[in-house]
Chains A and B, each alone.
Chain A
Amino acid sequence: MSGTNAQLDAVIAKYRGKHGILIPLLQEVQALEGYLSRPSMRYVGEQIGVSSAEIFGVATFYSMFHLEPQGKHVIKVCKGTACHVSKANAIADALREALKLESGEITTSDMSFTLMEVACLGCCSLAPVIMIDGQTFGKLTPEAIPGILERFAY
């Protein structure tokens, strides 16, 4: 699945001529493909008259931009303070084990799940917390992880 130029043109048209638009524009471009591909970034730059270097600079600065394809479901493991002191590391380990991710890998080989660590999901009193596709799960134990993942299986 890749954003065609026609799709990109439609997104760019909404922002053309306005100022301070690069971040929301890239967010919409990312929503088309699930990540920012190099051809898309280059095309957007050509269309709005911004250098590829500046676009790449913005895309790599913010953690919400992804330069690699993402899995079908995105799991965010909260590594905030409250979660950290409530053993968030054990939750992350349980997720890696259940998803059979080797160290350094963040996406499963079948592209079904991407696992990322985030600073804080703001649900501290339910620590430890994870979010899968926008749905939050709290007061977790490592044992609860396989059951939760099953609900999102494929």
Chain B
Amino acid sequence: MQTISVKVGMASCGMAAGASEVYQKLEAYLAESKLPVSLSKTACIGMCFEEPLVEFSGAEAGRLTIGAASAETITTALDEYLAGGIPNQRIILSDKSEAIHNELISNQVRIVLRNCGVIDPESLPEYEAQGGYQALKQALKMAPEEIVDLVKASGLRGRGGAGFSTGMKWSFAQKAPGPKKYVVCNADEGDPGAFMDRSVLEGDPHSIIEGMIIGAFAMGADEGYIYCRAEYPLAIKHLEKAIADAEAAHLLGQNILGSGFNFELHIKEGAGAFVCGEETALMQSIEGKRGMPTIRPPFPAESGLWGKPTNINNVETWANISWIISHGAEAFRAFGTEKSPGTKVFALAGKVAGGGLIEVPMGITIRDIIYKVGGGMKTELPFKAVQLGGPSGGCIPADLLDTIVDYDSITKTGAIMGSGGMVVMDTGNCMVDVARFFLNFTQNESCGKCTFCRIGTRRMLEILTRITEGKGELEDIDKLEALAVNIIKGSLCGLGQTAPNPVLTTLKYFKDEYLAHIVDKRCPSAVCNALIRYQVIPEKCIGCTACARKCPVGCISGKVKEIHLIDQDKCIKCGACFQACKFGAIAKN
């Protein structure tokens, strides 16, 4: 008989949704009942919106994934499954029968996420059982140039956002004079709204380590760093375990697998600075300094960490490497487009029904991502825009939904591919507010080295704040545009050069919203507090006094069973009356 296995998704988001309680309940139940079931932890299955997730496999009903699992009913579900039936639960995925999300998952292609949610990330044997470290064995028999050529032939482009050819980058570092060189994994995922790297780090740490060993061998590096942001404690824990296991198995350290190649890998914990995602700033931070970018050239491939040739790639890029070595460049090019081969992982969030981690072939349209992979909108309000690329990116409006996902097509819209954060917004989101949100972020995170970035972003933020407060003037739009151009020109690193993008794209596609704020002193989405008016709708008000009792400044007058009135001069726009009214008699506009 096949073994029955139960896996619980225990990544950060699963834990936040209560996966630990579910796991503990199952553990106690199995210890007591002595049922022949193997219970294990896995990481992110990707369908974060259905967390906590539990997967059953091995019995008659096949492989089933239960969504919104609860500690109260999970043991009953297991009994039902063991008895040969389909548990009376929210079955979201199934390989033998109909399930709620079978179709959503069928539109994905999983290369980077191949093991996420499949294996126990803390188990080296499970990684090896999926073919892990076979690519390394293969690579160690190849000439370093051959490996670089293979990566070049695959057409893989850096997944950190800029999309530079990974093979080219490798060849620069390879040709740089040794003997001391470094490879670095940029795991400082700082874009708000992005969690792709966290999921791979937590869910499949060995795939990153294997990619780095192969890269180090190809480029002649003997030391490497994974720079991981400290906000990801679980990722760091899994990486530490994976590195220790790999060392014990002679996959890391001296004379790797008897090949004579040495490679030592360290983890560096970040200390909270967004700019450290920029490669030169990241290297400064590894060296223990303030993470401020430096002028390029020299590029890291010539002079990086401690002045030695250094290659830096992002988590997702590294995770692609072993797959490319094992399957070949052609197999990789079978997915995606001519100029952007392969797949891309996106963190889908915001007002989309199926928020979570997805991996799709390049060349898919944004519309298909939202509606065929993400299951459409979560709210009843219609789609308005999708934000791509975080603080460096932009908002793509509804009429550009058929834009295909590749580096060049997205850049044409004014947004950028970025690292893969995709935040969906509906008509309840104000675009001026979103632009202000990102400028507030970049203004906070600017390291202060370049004047335009340091002061220019602050001036832009002041103008945007003024507009959202109803104090904007028409010429503010020209000022924003002029500042944007100067900040792009006058900044040394990617942070400043892309900081104006959220403003420029919203100005390009949603100028009418800016005008509504400035000219009509109105926020069409009713988000900007200073421009909102709360009013009693006389036909709906029954005079229950609930609003008047909640109002913290006592600006609502009216007696029991009489229509109430809000004094606009005194109203502080806190929204307490709107929340308190059970009859929908308070209008917010």
Contact = CB atoms under 8 A, between A and B. Distances in A.
Interface of A: 19-24, 26-27, 57-58, 61-65, 79-86, 118-127, 129, 134, 136-139
A23 B288 contact: yes
Given A27-B269, A84-B437, A85-B429, A122 B189 contact: yes
A125 B271 contact: no
B132 interface: no
B187 to A, nearest CB: 12
Contacts of A82: 192-193, 349-350, 355, 423
Given A20-B287, A64-B271, A85-B350, A138 B194 contact: no
Given A63-B272, A119-B441, A136 B192 contact: no
Given A61-B291, A62-B272, A64-B230, A126 B195 contact: no
A126 B269 contact: no
B390 A126 contact: no
A120 B13 contact: no
B383 interface: no
A79 B192 contact: yes
Task: Classify chain B: how many residues form its interface, as a range.
Answer: 35 or more
B190 interface: yes
Contacts of B232: 122
B293 interface: no
Interface string B223-247: 0000000111100000000000000
B349 A81 contact: yes
Given A27-B269, A64-B272, A123 B195 contact: yes
25 contacts: A19-B306, A20-B286, A23-B271, A58-B288, A61-B273, A61-B291, A61-B447, A62-B272, A64-B271, A65-B272, A81-B423, A81-B437, A86-B350, A119-B274, A120-B190, A120-B192, A121-B231, A122-B198, A123-B13, A124-B421, A124-B423, A125-B349, A125-B356, A126-B16, A136-B12
Nearest to A129: B16
Contacts of B291: 61-62
Given A120-B192, A134-B233, A65 B355 contact: no
B287 A138 contact: no
A84 B439 CA distance: 13
A138 B231 contact: no
B211 to A, nearest CB: 21
A55 B285 CA distance: 13
Contacts of B441: 119
B101 to A, nearest CB: 14
B278 interface: no
Interface string B174-196: 00000000000000011111110
Nearest to A81: B193
Interface string B302-326: 0000100000000000000000000
Nearest to B347: A124
A109 to B, nearest CB: 22
B96 interface: no
Given A81-B423, A118-B231, A125-B49, A58 B13 contact: no
Contacts of B541: none
Contact of B48 (A23, A121, A126, A134): A126
A81 B421 contact: yes
Given A23-B271, A124-B193, 13 more contacts: A24-B269, A57-B290, A58-B289, A81-B423, A84-B192, A85-B350, A85-B351, A118-B231, A123-B12, A124-B194, A134-B233, A137-B16, A138-B17
Interface in B1-26: 12-13, 15-17
Interface in B436-478: 437-438, 441, 445, 447
A134 B198 CA distance: 15
Contacts of A121: 12, 231
Most chain A CB atoms below 10 A, which of B273, B290, B347, B441: B290
A61 B454 CA distance: 14
Interface string B263-305: 0000011111110000000000111111100000000000000
Given A20-B288, A125-B356, A134-B233, A85 B192 contact: no
Contacts of B195: 120, 122-124
Interface string B407-442: 000000000000001010100010000100110010
B49 A21 contact: no
Nearest to A142: B579
Contacts of B49: 125
A93 B245 CA distance: 45
A119 B190 contact: yes
Most chain B CB atoms below 10 A, which of A21, A22, A124: A124
Most chain B CB atoms below 10 A, which of A20, A134, A137: A20
Contacts of B17: 126, 138-139
Interface string B70-98: 00000000000000000000000000000
